[in-house]
Amino acid sequence: MSSAARRVVILGATSAIAAAAARLWAKDGARLVLVGRKAERLKAIADDVTARGAGAAKVVVLDCATADAEAELTSIADGLGGLDIVLIAYGVLGDPRTLETSPEAAADLLRCNFTSAAAWCLAAARILEMQRAGTLLVIGSVAGDRGRRSNYVYGASKAGLGVLVQGLAHRLAGTGARTVLIKPGFVDTPMTAHITGWGPLWASPERLGAIIVRAGERGGPVVYAPWFWRPILLAARLLPAALFHRTRL
């Protein structure tokens, strides 16, 4: 199925991964609503995708972590006359040491990556279920598959979100609507700009964008991105704690 004239809403549209997906959707004629908190950056992305696409991309400026998800998404859906794709892309990585020592920092991250994202997921599910059509795409992370010393607060936020999306996939099964949890590994974006030592496991935002757009059409309910993270994380989950705890991952 083509995404021509599809109505696509992206929460956290300034994300490098989301912007790559937006360019592909625009090229295919989708009508895009780009939601984020940086007006200028959103406008630049909207101008870019509008130049590639059939119609003008719309911008909605808000903080996804604090906005009223139910009211905002309902208003966006009303404006578009329905929703075909909702992509929840926003998230923060945080500094692991700060997250361990500052309860406020940990609570902020959990509020952004889990609590608020859950509210958008539930709002989207209600609309898609009512329509009996449409797809909710949510960016989780392989970090949610097994807690490890280097980023377990972030990992916990993505694990919680993953279980929520898994439950929504179950709830929506057979309704015509669907959800897909996208689990990226290492992606070369501003979020990971501080990490050195890129290797063959790293993917570009463009590769992720293509995987996400494809997931909007078929596949799921869980998509490892790229695919090779599925066997890697299977092995990581199966590794006994006695061995896992000897690693410094």
Active site residues: 154
> What is the spatial distance between Cα 163 and Cα 146, in angstroms, rounded to a whole number?
13
Instruction: Provide, rounded to whole angstroms, the least separation between the CB of residue 222 and ligand NAP.
Output: 14
| Position 15 contacts ligand NAP (CB under 6 A) | yes
Is the Cβ of residue 4 or residue 89 nearer to ligand NAP in the bound state? 89
- Residue 242, class by beta-carbon neighbours within 10 Å (0-12 exposed, 13-18 middle, 19+ buried)? exposed
Cis-peptide, bond into residue 231, ω within 30° of zero: no
Instruction: Provide, rounded to whole angstroms, the least separation between the CB of residue 64 and ligand NAP.
Output: 3
| Position 146 contacts ligand NAP (CB under 6 A) | no
| Position 180 contacts ligand NAP (CB under 6 A) | no
Instruction: Provide, rounded to whole angstroms, the least separation between the CB of residue 212 and ligand NAP.
Output: 10
H-type alpha helices, 28-151: 39-52, 69-80, 96-101, 103-110, 117-131
Among 30, 33, 49, 65, binds ligand NAP (CB under 6 A): 65
| CA distances to 65, 66, 126, 180 from 112, in Å | 5, 8, 21, 20
Chain residues 72-91 in contact with ligand NAP, contact rule CB under 6 A: 89-91
| Position 27 contacts ligand NAP (CB under 6 A) | no
Is the Cβ of residue 50 or residue 204 nearer to ligand NAP in the bound state? 204
> What is the spatial distance between Cα 69 and Cα 48, in angstroms, rounded to a whole number?
26
Say which residues have a Cβ less than 8 Å from residue 27's Cβ, sequence separation at least 6: 52, 53
Instruction: Provide, rounded to whole angstroms, the least separation between the CB of residue 67 and ligand NAP.
Output: 8
Among 184, 216, 224, 233, binds ligand NAP (CB under 6 A): 184
Sheet-wide strand order for 85-88 = 58-61, 31-36, 7-11, 85-88, 134-139, 177-184, 222-225
Instruction: Kindly write out the interface string for residues 105-124 of this chain, putting x where it contacts ligand NAP by CB under 6 A and - elsewhere.
Output: -------x------------
Stretch touching ligand NAP by CB under 6 A, among 60-68, 78-86, 94-102, 167-175: 60-68
Would you tell me the crossing angle of helices 16-27 and 205-217 to the nearest 10 degrees?
50
* Residue 209: both structure tokens together: 């964008």
Is the Cβ of residue 17 or residue 177 nearer to ligand NAP in the bound state? 17
Interface residues toward ligand NAP, by CB under 6 A: 12, 14-17, 36-38, 41, 63-65, 89-92, 112, 139, 141, 184, 186-187, 189-192
